[in-house]
Amino acid sequence: MVETLGNLSEQEVFDVVVIGAGGAGMSAALFAAIDGARVLLVEHTEYVGGSTAYSAGTTWIPASKHAASVNRDDSSANAEGFLSRAVGEHSSAAMRRAFLDAGPTAVAHIEANSDVKYRARPFHPDYLSEIEGSTLRGRALEPLPFDGRKLGSAFALIRPPIPEFTVLGGMMVDRDDVGHLLNMTKSAASFGHAVKLLTRHARDRMGHSRGTRLVMGNALIGRLLYSLLQRGVTVLTQTKLDALHSGPNGIEAVTLSQVNERRRIGVKGGVILASGGFNRHPKYRAEMLPGADAAWCPGAPGHTGSAQDLALAAGARFGESAMSNAFWAPVSTRKRADGTTAVFPHFLMDRGKPGMMTVDKNGRRFLNENTSYHLFGIAMQKALSVPAFLITDAEGLMKYGLGMVRPGGKGLASYLADGYLTEANTLDELAGKLGIDSAGLADSVARMNRYAQTGVDEDFHRGSTDYQNANGDANWSGPNKCLGPIGRAPFYAVRLYPGDIGAATGLVTDTDARVLNHDDRPIDGLYACGNDMQSVMGGVYPGPGITLGPGLAFGYLAARHAAARASQPVALTDQRDDALTLPIDLATHAHAK
């Protein structure tokens, strides 16, 4: 049930308190409730869903019950070898093993006991497909679409998707819908699919501010919220964690605040931190993501790191082994009419398609445009290519779009007027408008046009792996599905920036997601999962959904341990430690790389 803090008494005691209502936190809360615990879910913002609500909702779980439907040859052992080679010393082998063991069980358990349902994508390659043990299908799960009308008034609690990822004023579409909409005049099946979508959306808009057919991350959050409410979990939004209270039995209470209300809430089993990580914490961001403007972050606003501050004060520590402190994607930005800034992640719709090319200020390519979005963001920073420039011609824009500009090229005037999109009749003119080297750009285009004919990218080997080819154009007639010429005027460009899409560095935990102190001993009653937890992937991005997958698995492990702890008798005591609140010397706890 959705509550207000004022309706909870000062003597209120919960078995498990979860801080943060993103995908990991909501999953942990649901697992605890399934195990019979009395659960309180606390969210700092006005919406539930966190960055999961913005995402595709893909969940990377090898060897799940769904894998065999698309790939009978994969196994947990294959995945373990793959992660060992891909991640190596950037994370603990024991933590990776715990994830692989718990993941399939977590999927089966949540599906058997709630409305959360997944399916395997028929074709969704691991990003590092060149590494032994990778697969093309079976590990990436996606949530089934969900009818938001089942939530009634609680539908308004779900964080809406990024507006630029919707159509027709709030209609969500997934990758399958996009294909049907683009082909609706060419295929009877696509036309029928599109008509159903449009008819449903028209009905929705008669009574709702946006479409109620939820897909991708919104579908996952909708299913989680519906299941939590069905199980009687108490949900508080716009509520802040002010203090953790410790005693002889570890963390025994929390202090929460909401508007003018403040309550101390008892906790029997434990507090699970799933608040989204440090990305919008001013100090940690400056130390761990130097040079990355917060305005480039496309994540939801709730990951302030304030809950991690309290954990650090309780003796926790940040991990130090990750390859990168965050996960990355190239993004473009644009001011909306209401004054807010749209941050658009360039995941796969444009940069890797034929006729697309990315250059630096010298007009030169500096990376393989078909690499994963994480490695793309890292490459931009290593090459000091900020901003970088994603360039195409009239044909590329028409076929694939360019960032927020949709395929077909309609409505270009507004994008050109505010400078989001740059247009020129010649490459020399385009270079001048962008302030980049004209000769370098001309040479880069000439080289790309030559590679489009031969099918071989002699500079960066674009289109040389299964993952890269999957993000090309399967219908392209050239010898390489990722390479095409750039030559039909006018020419277009958008500016790209490295946007952090989630924290990789977080609180160190054990295999039950218990937060560890500086002596590697568990802090009793304190757990972490999701991006509050040190990434089991070690800042490497080996496949799609490698944040939500571990979030689900370790949310399950944390909830199981905390719920079991709540059922154990504890010795009564009158002793009570002071609350672990701020200010504290944050400099002793933050570890910049």
Q: What is d(CA 396, CA 161) in angstroms, rounded to the nearest whole number?
A: 26
H, E, C per residue of 232-295: CCEEECCCEEEEEEEECCEEEEEEEEECCEEEEEEEEEEEEECCCCCCCCHHHHHHHCCCCCHH
What is the DSSP-derived secondary structure letter of residue 115? S
Q: How much is the pLDDT for 580?
A: 56
In a structure prediction context, what are the per-residue pLDDT tens digits for the chain, which is 593 residues long?
Answer: 788 998 999 889 999 999 999 999 999 999 999 999 999 999 999 999 999 999 999 999 999 999 999 999 999 999 999 999 999 999 999 999 999 999 999 999 999 999 999 999 999 999 999 999 999 999 999 999 999 999 999 999 999 998 888 887 788 788 777 777 777 878 888 878 877 878 887 887 888 889 899 999 999 999 999 999 999 999 999 999 999 999 999 999 999 999 999 999 999 999 999 999 999 999 999 999 999 999 999 999 999 999 999 999 999 999 999 999 999 999 999 999 899 999 999 998 999 999 999 999 999 999 999 999 999 999 999 999 999 999 999 999 999 999 999 999 888 999 999 999 999 999 999 999 999 999 999 999 999 999 999 999 999 999 999 999 999 999 999 999 999 999 999 999 999 999 999 999 999 999 999 999 999 999 999 999 999 999 999 999 999 999 999 999 999 999 999 999 999 876 444 334 555 554 333 333 333 33
Q: What is d(CA 71, CA 425) in angstroms, rounded to the nearest whole number?
A: 48
- Sign, Cα dihedral of 376, 377, 382, 388: positive
Are residues 160 and 170 in contact, defined by beta-carbon separation less than 8 angstroms? yes
Q: The whole model's pTM is what? A: 0.93
For residue 258, the SS3 value is strand
Helix (H), strand (E) at residue 25: helix 23-34
Domains of the chain: 1-170+213-324+504-584 (3.50.50.60), 327-500 (3.90.700.10)
Rg (CA), the chain: 24
Residue reference for tokens 């247009």: 423
Residue reference for tokens 């009308």: 149
